[in-house]
Amino acid sequence: MTTLTDPPKESFRLSMLLNDSRYRSITIQIVALIGFLTLIGWLLNNTAQNLADLGKEPSFRFLTQPAGYDINQMLIEYTNQDSNLRAAFVGLLNTLIVAIMGCIAATVVGVIVGVLRLSNNWILARLMTVYVEIFRNVPVLLWIVFTMAILIETLPAPRDFRGDTPEASMLLGDTVALTNRGFYIPEPLFSRSLGDVSLFGQSPLRFDVSLDLIAIMATLLAGVLLAGLFAKRADRIQAATGVRPRTWHWRFGVIVLPTAALLAGLGLHFGYPELRGFNFQGGTYMRNSLIALWLALSLYTAAFVAEIVRAGILAISKGQTEAAAALGLRPRRIMSLVVLPQALRVIVPPLISQYLNLTKNSSLAIAVGYMDITGTLMGITLNQTGRELETVLMTMLIYLVISLVISGAMNVYNNSVKLQER
């Protein structure tokens, strides 16, 4: 009987750092880390030295100093005596407005175009193809300045609305005025308003939230949740008896009626734009730079969304539709129960990355003078204070946070609809 001796204990040799796969990865990583830290240190050292030479040590004190410039489109009150930080906040809100409006419009247009591209109607499908190709293959910056030029050159000036026989007239029963300075639309007003609540006291990030808006949102949300309960009940009854009760009028009612009652209770009425002197007063004013940016971004992005929607629908094999039809489902329910849930899994991730692109492209606002975060913090504040390093890095950081929030939401969605495989 032989006894196996332990293999001889190898003593550690320096060459094992390179030749032994147990240690080599650590060696490589340490070398990479040293290289990386050296690079960072070199950049920081250069930056510090350069800034010291220029006499501009990094400092964020400029944020609290008065901005000294006006912003022409704002959601919250702001005067040119407010601080640079407040100006940046106004710009951030402007970025978010145009991003949200753009995402909604791009989705609506994109879905319609994507579905129509698959239409049986030859001429309509070709028309949509032309739309997609034209918008996809021309730079978005060109679309933005082009749309701005269209608005300025083709729409009437406010003075054209004056006189007994005006050259231009307002639309929709004198409620909407499209001028080359911007659009004037009716604004909702409440005669028995609940008032506003101010957040963040006197800090630069202070803003007011309308309680009316919160109340309306809450009522709508409660209505939608109730409607969901009705649908669940219908599902239960269908599972038990095989007959689905008719509930759409209940669902419709719980959403619409309380909201309508609330609006009536708050005394909803509209303030219409009116021509006074050389310009319109009243109503909500949307500058033409906002309109141009919004239209151009959403039409450009819609072309990409259309392709995504088309690819998503085509990705569902014909067998799925046929199997659903063989089960006796009607076309509408085939769409909502079989095709859409599967297509959405393909559509949503690239769709959200298009939302991300739209948000980032909204920084091109600077080309038409819309004051978003790029125009305020990285535009006028940068030029006035000369703080290139701080403003550019802050702007990048803000965009980075927005992007990470959106892609985080995408990851949550992806995980929730992922196919459960083995």
Residues that bind another protein (CB under 8 A): 18-19, 24-25, 28-29, 31-33, 36, 43, 46-47, 49-51, 53, 119-124, 127, 133-134, 136-142, 145-146, 149, 153, 360-361, 363-364, 366-367, 374, 378, 382, 388-389, 392, 395-396, 399-400, 403-404
Closest CA to 365 of 289, 299, 295: 289
Pick 229 or 389: Cβ nearer another protein: 389
Pick 229 or 393: Cβ nearer another protein: 393
Pick 347 or 367: Cβ nearer another protein: 367
Pick 291 or 364: Cβ nearer another protein: 364
Phi-psi region of 198 (alpha: psi -120 to 50; beta: other; left: phi over 0): beta
CB of 163 to another protein, least distance (A): 23
Pick 29 or 198: Cβ nearer another protein: 29
CB of 60 to another protein, least distance (A): 16
CB of 241 to another protein, least distance (A): 36
Q: What is the DSSP string of 138-164?
A: S-HHHHHHHHHHHHHHHSPPGGGG-SS
Distance of CA 124 to the CA centre of its chain: 29
CB of 414 to another protein, least distance (A): 14
245 DSSP assignment? P
Encoded tokens for 178? 């499209």
Encoded tokens for 208? 């007011």
CB of 15 to another protein, least distance (A): 9
Residues 6+ apart with CB under 8 A from 306: 109, 110, 111, 113, 114, 117, 128, 131, 132
Which residues partner with 280 through β-bridges?
A: 275
Encoded tokens for 175? 């409620």
Among all chains, which residue has been given the structure tokens 């535009």? 379
Encoded tokens for 58? 């990094």
Closest CA to 174 of 38, 87, 275: 275
Residues 6+ apart with CB under 8 A from 49: none
CB of 192 to another protein, least distance (A): 44
Pick 89 or 143: Cβ nearer another protein: 143
Q: Which uninterrupted H or E stretch holds 117? A: helix 84-117
Among all chains, which residue has been given the structure tokens 């930056």? 47
CB of 193 to another protein, least distance (A): 38
Pick 219 or 362: Cβ nearer another protein: 362
